[in-house]
Amino acid sequence: MFVAIATKRQDRTFHPPKDFCPLCPTKSDKIKTEIPASDYDIVVFENKFPTFSENPDRVDNKKLNIGKSFQYEHKESRGICEVVCYTPNHNLYLEDLPLDKIENLINVWRDRYLVFGGKKFIKYVLIFENKGKEIGVTLSHPHGQIYAFSYIPPVISEELESSRKFYQKNKRCIHCGIIERELRDRNRIIIANKDFIAFIPFYARWPYEVHVYPLKHHESLCQLNDREINSLSSVIKGLIRRYNKLFDFRMPYTMVIHQKPTDNGNYNYYHFHFEFYPPYRTKDKLKYLAGCELGAGTFLNDTMPEEKAAELRNTVSE
């Protein structure tokens, strides 16, 4: 496990009134936002309250009382944190965007992955979205984030290691095997098209956890062709709209994209995918991480993935 201590984040903007949204375009000289232009398609910028930065603060050994016998392993929080604004419209969420706009966003994600991947000190690029106050989001304007790490984070590292071991033993990708199994069983699938599949995995931790995979063995978003990008846009939109329809409110979620690291290693055993973690287990009950999850690393799921998948599958996406 890693802990990133970033005390300046305590001061970050917290649920500002809509008229003072820092992610809306600047409409008047009196209220300047993060984005100077009066309109935009998609914008990315350095996070004002970053966890990691390219030039992190130097240590003050004296202040922290760090001497030669200091026993804790630690290093500077080097990396890059970006915000990605999907749209200038404060009320237009990812799932409300037309498919071509979602395709544009996927291309921006691809570009940021390439740009950060080209930096020597960046080993991993995590693209993600936190949505909804239940998740802890402090700005409601539709946006995502990108964290570029100077190391491969532990969840990814463990997933890579499992994938590598399976590949070594069986001479095939474990994720391709999972997709084949899901296509055979069918009962955990939410949506599938000619290029992508969305399903609640057999091993789901959250009741409505969904993973989205390309059917073709790709290691990162960058390997998608135009048709696959269109197919992915359609699945993302369809999935989130189903989430919203399920309980008749915009479902909060965390969405993460797991891609191969950018350290130029050989990851031909890895298969990129999206993971969605909505926190609700019923319309009015949240699932919390408690003793067994936090203290023992074992998730308790009160539901059957097959039943929850049927609920989402039968929720007609408009």
- Give 268-313 as a DSSP string: TT---EEEEE--EEETTEE----HHHHHHS-----S-HHHHHHHHH
- Which of residues 31 and 64 has its CB atom nearest to other proteins in the complex? 64
Name the β-bridge partners of 79: 149
273 is catalytic: no
Q: 243, 252 in Cβ contact below 8 A?
A: no
How far apart are the C-alpha atoms of 205 and 210, rounded to whole Å?
Answer: 10
- Single out the residue of 52, 45, 50 nearest to residue 143, CA to CA: 45
Token representation of residue 1: 């496990």
> What is the CB neighbour count within 10 angstroms for residue 258?
21
CB of 174 to other proteins, least distance (A): 14
Name the residue nearer to other proteins (CB basis): 64 or 300: 64
The residue annotated as part of the active site, out of 74, 90, 141, 143, is 143
Torsion over CA: 159, 165, 171, 177 (sign)? negative
Provide, rounded to whole angstroms, the least separation between the CB of residue 145 and other proteins. 15
Closest to other proteins by CB, 29 vs 73, is 73
Q: How far apart are CA 24 and CA 142, in angstroms?
A: 10
Minimum CB separation of residue 278 from other proteins in Å reads: 24
CB of 70 to other proteins, least distance (A): 4
Q: List contacts with other proteins (CB under 8 A).
A: 1-7, 34-37, 40-46, 48, 53, 56-61, 64, 66, 68-77, 104, 107-108, 110-111, 113-114, 117-118, 120, 152, 154-155, 157-158, 160-161, 164, 219-220, 222-223, 260-267
With respect to other proteins, which residue has the nearer C-beta, 116 or 243?
116
d(CA 135, CA 294): 17
CB of 109 to other proteins, least distance (A): 10
Active-site annotation, residues: 143
